[in-house]
Amino acid sequence: MRKAIVIGGGIGGLSAAIGLHGIGWEVTVLEQAPELTAVGAGISLWPNALRSLETLGVRLTGQQEQSSGGLHDRDGRRITRWDAEAFRRHHGRPLAAIHRADLIGALRDALPDGCVRTGVEVTSLDDLDADVIVAADGIHSTARKQLWPRHPEPVYSGSTAFRAVTALPHPTELSTSWDDGAEIGVIPLHDGRVYWWASYVAEAGVRHEDPKSYLRNRFGGWHEPIPELIEATTPETLLHHDLCLGTPLPSYVKGRVALLGDAAHAMPPFLGQGGCQAIEDAVVLAAALSTTEDVDAALKSYDEQRRPRSQSVVKASVQAGKIGPQLRNPLAVAVRNGVFRLLPGALTARIGAGVSGWTPPVPRRPAPPRTR
C-alpha cells in the first residue's frame, strides 16, 4: 500500500487526506497544534467547493444555504439584489456557509481513527518517509520555505480584517456592505448565529488595545444589523488578521512533495475562495494519483491542472478587492455603485460562474476485494 504524509490538519490538509484514503493510500496527517482547531470563525462554501466535497464523499452537517441577500452601501441603500434561486439554477448548487468547527469536524469524521496526529511539528521534509508528502501547512508554510528558500513570503494586500461569530435575537439575511475602502459582510449560519467580518484599508500590523471599542467607533454608524452585531460580539471571540497574498510559485510540486491550499496560493478573501480552492486541490491530487502508478507523472498532472486555475483565482480575488472594498476614491465609488445598481438580480447571480462553476474530476476508487 502506498503511503502519504500530509503536513497540516486544516481544511486543505484534511481534504487531501480524505481523497488519498479514498483511493486506497495509507495516510497520516501531522498537525502542529495540540488539537484540531477552527480559527477563522466561518467560511463560505461556493458550488465548486460543494461539488468537491461531494466527490470526496464528505457528509456535511451544519451548513446553511443562503436564501436571500444583497449588496448595500453603509447607510443600507441597496446596490444590488442577490437572487438565490437564480444562483442555484445557474450554478447547480446553492451558496452555503458553515462554521469552521463544523467543517473541520465533518472532514475529521471522514477519516479513520488514528489517521490524524496532533502536536507534531515537522522541521525537515527529509525526516518524512512516504511515497508522497502533501504540504498543507498554511500561508507561512515551512515546507515551501525549504523547497523554495528564495521565493518571496506572502505580502500584505493592503487590507486588514476582523471576524467573529455571534448570536442575534432575530434572523438576518446575507449581505455585503461597502464604503470607501471598507467592507462588512454578514452571513447567517444554521443555528441562528451569524458569521460577520469587517475589512478595511489600513497599514499592516496595526492593532488596537480595545478592538471592540475601535469597531464601535469605526463602524457604529453603519446600517443595522452591523452596530448590533458589534455590540453582541464578546471581545475574546474577535479575530484580527492582516490579509495577505502569495507571490505565484513556478510549480506546486518538487520531487515527491506537493503544495496545497494557502501554502501554494494564498489569496485575499474578496471572492470567498481560499478554502474552496484548497478543497479543489485535494480532489485533483487524489484524482491524479488514482489514474497512474507513476507518482512523478501524477504530481506533474496535479501541478498542470491546479497552478493555472488557482493562480487565476488569486488574480480575480485581488481585482475584486480593488473594485470593491479597497476602492477609496469617492467619485469612483459613486460610479461603481451606480453601475452595479443597473444590474438585474438574475445577472448578478451569474457573476463568478467561471470560478464557482468548476466541476471536479472523480478519483478512481480501488476495486473491492473479491470474495468466493
For 335, half-sphere exposure in the C-beta direction (CA atoms, 13 angstrom radius) is: 7
Considering only CA atoms, which of 357, 348, 353 is closest in space to residue 69?
348
pLDDT at 311: 98
Query: Tens digit of pLDDT for each residue in 146-167?
Result: 999 999 999 999 999 999 999 9
pLDDT at 202: 98
Average pLDDT of the segment spanning 223-249: 97
Query: Tens digit of pLDDT for each residue in 248-305?
Result: 999 999 999 999 999 999 999 999 999 999 999 999 999 999 999 999 999 999 999 9
pLDDT at 372 over 60: no
Cell representation of residue 353:
460562474
Burial class of residue 77 (count of CB atoms within 10 Å of its CB; 0-12, 13-18, 19+): exposed
Report the predicted TM-score, pTM, of the whole model to 2 decimal places: 0.96
What values do phi and psi take at 147, rounded to 5?
A: -80, -40
pLDDT class for 370, splitting at 50, 70, 90?
low
CA distance 249 to 270: 21
Share above pLDDT 70 across residues of the chain, in percent, rounded to a whole number: 98
Lowest average pLDDT, out of 68-82, 132-146, 334-348, goes to 334-348
pLDDT at 345: 74
pLDDT at 368 over 80: no
pLDDT at 36 over 90: no
pLDDT at 350: 80
pLDDT at 75 over 90: yes
pLDDT at 94: 94
pLDDT at 43 over 90: yes
What values do phi and psi take at 104, rounded to 5?
A: -60, -40
pLDDT class for 371, splitting at 50, 70, 90?
low
pLDDT at 369: 62
pLDDT at 332 over 70: yes
Considering only CA atoms, which of 148, 141, 149 is closest in space to residue 123?
141
CA distance 111 to 58: 10
pLDDT class for 40, splitting at 50, 70, 90?
low
Residue 125 DSSP class: G
Where is pLDDT greater, at 243 or 62? 243
pLDDT at 4 over 80: yes
Lowest average pLDDT, out of 19-23, 64-68, 72-76, goes to 64-68
Average pLDDT, the chain: 95
pLDDT at 346: 72
Do 31 and 117 touch, CB atoms closer than 8 A? yes
Query: Tens digit of pLDDT for each residue in 189-204?
Result: 998 899 999 999 999 9
Do 268 and 318 touch, CB atoms closer than 8 A? yes
Do 268 and 319 touch, CB atoms closer than 8 A? no
Residue 202 DSSP SS3: coil
